[in-house]
Amino acid sequence: MISADSFIHLAGLAALAMLLIGMVLVLWRLARGPTAADRVIALDLLSMLVVAFLVTVSIHARETSYLDVAIAYACIAFLGTVALARYISRTSRKRSEKNQGDHRNG
Amino acid sequence: MVDFLTGLLMVIGSIFCLVAAVGVVRLPDALIRMHAATKAGTLGTGLLIIAEALFYQQLGISLRAATVIVLVLLTAPVAAHLIGRAFYHSDESLSDRTWIDELRSQKGKNI
């Protein structure tokens, strides 16, 4: 029978490996695009995966201060996502207004 | 018993995070990818945080874990909604297999 400590150790290693694979997949989507919204979605999921990774590291390394890092990172990642989403909607609105203006003038 | 539960929650949570990442890579357009990322990602992160609270079983850690869960549950839908709205109004075409678009008559208006 496997001991509880080594079970948590193995589970932590498996969880960290899966989160790393997930981060690599999300980075592929971030590089590939094709639209700006896809990249923002990939960044949003990447920040969520980083929060999950920090929590897992905090269990695996038995170091509770990583949880505080996760709290701060979750707040800042939300602000970044909101800023990028507003940037996309503002640029697309400007573009459509400009197209309508061109249509009217031409 | 609690250690076993902790390890199980960690593995299940990270599997959900992996599923979210695979969904973001494999699904056809940005709105559908946003669903995979938000739902599965939130559930996976939440399970991992519950595992952390179970593992330490101290009041301070549990309160901080609850703070992270509340933060993720409050911010993920807002961020997903903003991205989806920006994508829908940015004149990008939806997936070929999308056949219900109830907002089409409102498209281009400032809503």
What are the tens digits of pLDDT across the range B61-79? 999 999 999 999 999 999 9
Tokens of B19: 């599923």
Read off the pLDDT of residues B13-47 as tens digits, 9 standing for 90 and up.
Answer: 999 999 999 999 998 888 899 998 999 999 999 99
Whether the CB of B24 is below 8 Å from some CB of chain A: the reply is yes
| Domain assignment of residue B71, yes or no | yes
pLDDT of residue A105: 53
Q: Which residues of A touch B34 (CB under 8 A)?
A: 37, 41
pLDDT of residue A102: 62
Interface confidence (ipTM) of the complex: 0.89
Query: How many domains, in total, are found in chain A?
Result: 1
Nearest residue in chain A measured CA to CA from B25: A29
Question: How far apart, in Å, are the Cα atoms of B80 and each of A85, B2, B94, B103?
Answer: 9, 34, 17, 17
The CATH number given to whatever domain includes residue A74 is 1.10.287
Question: How far apart, in Å, are the Cα atoms of B46 and each of A6, A44, A48?
Answer: 23, 16, 10
Mean pLDDT of chain B: 88
Helix (H, G, I), strand (E, B) or coil at B110: coil
User: In which domain, by residue range, is B35 found?
Assistant: 2-106
Query: How many domains, in total, are found in chain B?
Result: 1
**Are B17 and A78 within 8 A, CB to CB?**
no
| Domain assignment of residue B101, yes or no | yes
| Domain assignment of residue B77, yes or no | yes
**Are A81 and B72 within 8 A, CB to CB?**
no
Helices (H), chain B: 2-26, 30-56, 59-88
Whether the CB of B111 is below 8 Å from some CB of chain A: the reply is no
* pLDDT interval class at A106 (50, 70, 90): very low
Helix (DSSP H) and strand (DSSP E) numbers for chain A: 3, 0
Averaged pLDDT for residues A76-91: 90
Helix (H, G, I), strand (E, B) or coil at A62: coil
Query: B residues 73-92 near A, CB within 8 Å?
Result: 75-76, 78-80, 82-83, 85-87, 89-92
Cα gap A11→A15, rounded to integer Å = 6
Q: Are B22 and A25 in contact (CB under 8 A)?
A: yes
Read off the pLDDT of residues A2-48 as tens digits, 9 standing for 90 and up.
Answer: 788 888 999 999 999 999 999 999 999 999 878 889 999 999 999 99
User: In which domain, by residue range, is A86 found?
Assistant: 4-105
Q: Which residues of A touch B6 (CB under 8 A)?
A: 8, 11, 59
| Domain assignment of residue B111, yes or no | no
Q: Are A66 and B48 in contact (CB under 8 A)?
A: no
Read off the pLDDT of residues A12-22 as tens digits, 9 standing for 90 and up.
Answer: 999 999 999 99
pLDDT of residue B59: 93
Rg from Cα positions in chain B: 18
**Are A37 and B87 within 8 A, CB to CB?**
yes
